[in-house]
Amino acid sequence: MKQIENQVTGASTEMQGNDNLRLLMITELFLPTKGGTAVSFDDDFRRLGGKEVHVITADVPGAAEFDRNHPNTIHRLVLKRWEWLKPESLLIYTKLFWKSLWLALTTRTTAIFAGRALPEGMVALIVGRLTRRPVLIYAHGEELTGWGRGRKFQAMCFTMRRADWILSNSDNTRDTLVNLLGVDSDRIALTYPTVDEKRFYPAPPDDELRCSIGVTGDKKLILSVGRLQLRKGFDSVIRSLPALLEQGLNIEYALIGIGDELHYLQELASEFNVTEHVHFLGHVSYEDLPRWYHACDLFAMPNRDIDGDNEGFGLVFLEAAASSKPAIAGRAGGTDSAVIDGETGLLVDGEKIKDIVAAIGHILRNPEESSRMGNTARQRVLENFIHKRRVDQLRDLVFRKR
């Protein structure tokens, strides 16, 4: 797979000198499962080491091909939840525990990482205490607020409060950990997501892609990328289109992603009579995704909070920023760490269509300001969100004494 070859090549230099770093990563989410979290984990551990880094994860379609040339050692388990079990994830905990304990003992693991608090973090904590190894748990934001205050929430609090390090992806996630879960702030490390600045880079608009969906002449292209979920706010962009068109803006909207809300979004476009302006592109290839960022004039994901489900950070905002594109983001969740209001884009209330219309219109009508925001966004990525900086930070945390 060309995607794998590209990633291995990009990580090979950073992997040198990590031979003594023996890590264990426990995560249900890992490539080829789609999503920003899976991509981020893969980026981290490719760069943290080679075959001495062991990743325990779920067996998913395409895993065998993906794992074949992976620089790490990947262990796949069949991880299923059964409704008749109490808890329904009991078998997942059992499988992860025994596999993790065996690997930690036989590989002389330096540290144990977990992709989230439950179930992986709980397993990592138990194994870490049994083997006297430090435990580092990723916190993404959305998983912290969606479980009410029942037993799962209590188990999550127990786990997070006792890990050696919680790896927070944003300032908002850090505040949630402290104020909602009661995690000691000294145990929290801000480890912002990163983006491949060599894969996502500024380039002239891709006329071929633009023409393929009818973006010609002075037309503007709005782009969204992400799983088709309500909290992403893609429906709000569609609801904004009639007003923008009435104002005289000549625009098209391209939406890259798959998910359960596809049919709803298609019906919404029909309801608002903008079907001919909305282009559902589904999943695009690894090679074509950067080209779509080149092709667009503005990136938009006006996310919002829905019953505690919100955007923890938004890796796609970094992809747009690395491509020198301004972004429209919602104020909910941790996106204010990804988009700086007035500098790299505009933050809006994702519930207010008028605010979204005003923000999109402002950027599209002011090309000089749009260019300034895009250039600032690219520079901010280079200074704060590149892989080497994050990997160096993770290595430091592994060896830092508490």
CATH code, domain with 154: 3.40.50.2000
Residues 53 and 42: their CA atoms lie apart, in Å, by 12
- Whether 372 and 225 map to the same domain: the answer is yes
The CA distance from 100 to 127, in Å, is 7
Q: What pLDDT does 332 receive?
A: 93
Longest dimension (CA), the chain: 66
Domain presence at residue 332: yes
Q: pLDDT tens, 111-132? A: 999 999 999 999 999 999 999 9
Same domain, yes or no, for 343 and 392?
Answer: no
- pLDDT at residue 183 greater than cutoff 90: yes
Has residue 265 been placed in a domain? yes
Indicate whether 148 pLDDT > 90: no
Same domain, 74 and 135: yes
Domain count, the chain: 2
Residue 320: pLDDT band with limits 50, 70, 90: very high
Are residues 159 and 303 located together in one domain of the fold?
Answer: no
Q: Do residues 377 and 395 share a domain?
A: no
Residue 199 lies in a domain: no
Q: How confident is the model at residue 20 (pLDDT cuts 50, 70, 90)?
A: low
Helices (H) and strands (E) in the chain, counts: 16, 13
Rounded to 5 degrees, what angle do the CA atoms 229, 231, 237 make? 85
Residues 348 and 251 in one domain: yes
Residue 221 shares a structural domain with residue 144 = no
What are 367-378's pLDDT values in tens digits? 999 999 999 999
Please indicate, yes or no, whether residues 284 and 168 belong to a single structural domain of this protein: no
48: which 2 tokens?
């943290």
Q: Is residue 136 located within the same domain as residue 181?
A: yes
23-26 and 54-58: which strand pairing?
A: parallel
In terms of pLDDT, which residue wins out, 375 or 5? 375
pLDDT band at 313 (very low <50, low <70, confident <90, very high): very high
| 38 vs 46: CA distance, rounded Å | 12
Same domain as 395, residue 360 = no
The verdict on 45 and 178 lying in the same domain is: yes
DSSP H or E segment with residue 67: helix 63-68
Cα 232 to Cα 226: distance, rounded to the nearest angstrom:
8
Q: Give the pLDDT of residue 8.
A: 37
CB 299 within 8 A of CB 232: no
Q: Which residues pair with 252 in a beta bridge?
A: 221
Instruction: Match 């927070």 to its residue by tokens.
Output: 168
Q: Is 239 helix (H, G, I), strand (E, B) or coil?
A: helix
Query: Is the full-model pTM beyond 0.85?
Result: no
Higher-confidence position of 214 and 145: 214
Q: What is the mean pLDDT of the chain?
A: 92
| Any domain includes 61 | yes
Owning domain of residue 137: 2-194+386-399
Radius of gyration of the chain from its Cα atoms, rounded to whole angstroms: 21
For 368-398, give one letter per residue: b (16+ CB within 10 A) or e: eebeebbebbbebbeeebbbeebbeebbebb
Considering only residues 308 and 231, tell me which one the structure prediction assigns the higher pLDDT: 231
Region 281-288 average pLDDT: 93
**pLDDT given at position 72:** 98
Tell me: pLDDT of 13 over 70. no
pLDDT of residue 147: 75
**263 CB neighbour count, 10 Å cutoff:** 9
103 within some domain = yes
**Bond from prior residue into 61 cis (ω within 30 degrees of 0):** no
- pLDDT tens digits, residue range 330-370? 999 999 999 999 999 999 999 999 999 999 999 999 999 99
pLDDT of residue 312: 86
Mean pLDDT (whole number) for 199-215: 94
Q: Is 101 contained in some domain? A: yes
Residue range 75-85, pLDDT digits in tens: 999 998 888 87
pLDDT of res. 402 = 56
Contact assessment for residue 254 and residue 213, using Cβ atoms and an 8 Å cutoff: yes
Residue count (the chain): 402
Could you give the C-alpha distances from 244 to 157, 254, 264, 356, 363, in angstroms and in order? 45, 15, 21, 10, 12
DSSP conformational letter for 341: B
pLDDT for 124: 98
Q: How confident is the model over 88-117, as a mean pLDDT?
A: 96
Statement: residue 12 has pLDDT above 50:
no
User: Does some domain include residue 85?
Assistant: yes
The pLDDT assigned to 401 comes to: 60
Sheet holding 188-190, edge to edge: 73-77, 54-58, 23-26, 111-114, 135-139, 165-168, 188-190
Residues 54 and 139 occupy one common structural domain: yes
Q: Within a domain: residue 278?
A: yes
